[in-house]
Structure 1
Amino acid sequence: MRSLLVPFIALLAIGCSKAAEAPDPEAVSRWLMSECPMSFREVRDNGKLATVPFIGPAHVARIDIAPKLRPGADPALLVTLTSQGEERMLRFTSSNKGRAMATFCGDVEIYRATILAPFGNHFRVAMSLPNDTRQSTQ
């Protein structure tokens, strides 16, 4: 549960900061990557998760806090992959349109989405789901 709370705390602290200067985006990205090792897993047709992620923390080049799309929107992260991660994500999303994939922060599932179109190295990940679809691998 700690790994899920870390990005929320970061979003809250940065969003509520009254400092004249914004936090260094590079430092925030490094901190998020260390506290939230992100990975992505296939969700099989029966709803079960693949045991091995197709994208692991080593494929994540950067994590940034995403701007809100509208008032009241869930917090989100912007994820940038390495070139190898981009190739894997593009290959996976190209061959799995209409199927689900799960996003993990450490060992906690933070989001499950349906793939609508192929994508590669830069995308947005929401940070909340109904409790019945959030799963842990522990």
Structure 2
Amino acid sequence: MRAIKSECCAENARNAARDHFGTLRAIKSVRCAPSSRNPQSGRKIIKGLEQAVAHARGENTQARERTIHIEDSVDVRNIRKKLSLTQQEFSLQFGFSLAAVRHWEQGSRIPEMSARVLLTLIDKDPGYVRRALGMMDEDEQKVACG
């Protein structure tokens, strides 16, 4: 592997990396004029690109990986009914569109991954989600109302 000039401009590094798996070859050829702004940024970008390529090849890069398991299907109607909410109340409380909730419950659409994550959290601990969104739990509302 040829040495990479230590100071590179970020734009040329990004352009060179666009080749996907040809990235390593492209990284080797990146050469830029020294930057007076932050000479470390180019080195960090190149190092990150090299690590990404090594990781993609299956080499040990000490990269942190986290795998989460989210079900492919979520029973939105069951989650909503456990909370004794109408479709409109459920959509308003948790930031979903009413149309999306209806489509999910009818089975004509499947929630995207991010929505499934939120729906899973709502199912497991609705109080936590409400607090995270700045809402009070039903129990807290009863206490506040006296």
- Give the number of the structure whose alpha-carbon radius of gyration is greater: 2
* Structure ranking higher in helix proportion: 2
Instruction: Tell me which interval the TM-score lies in, with the shorter structure as reference length.
Output: under 0.3
Compute the TM-score of the two structures, normalised by the length of structure 1: 0.22
Length-normalised TM-score, structure 2: 0.21
Determine which structure has the larger strand proportion and give its number.
1
The higher relative CO (CA closer than 8 Å, separation ≥ 6) is in: 1
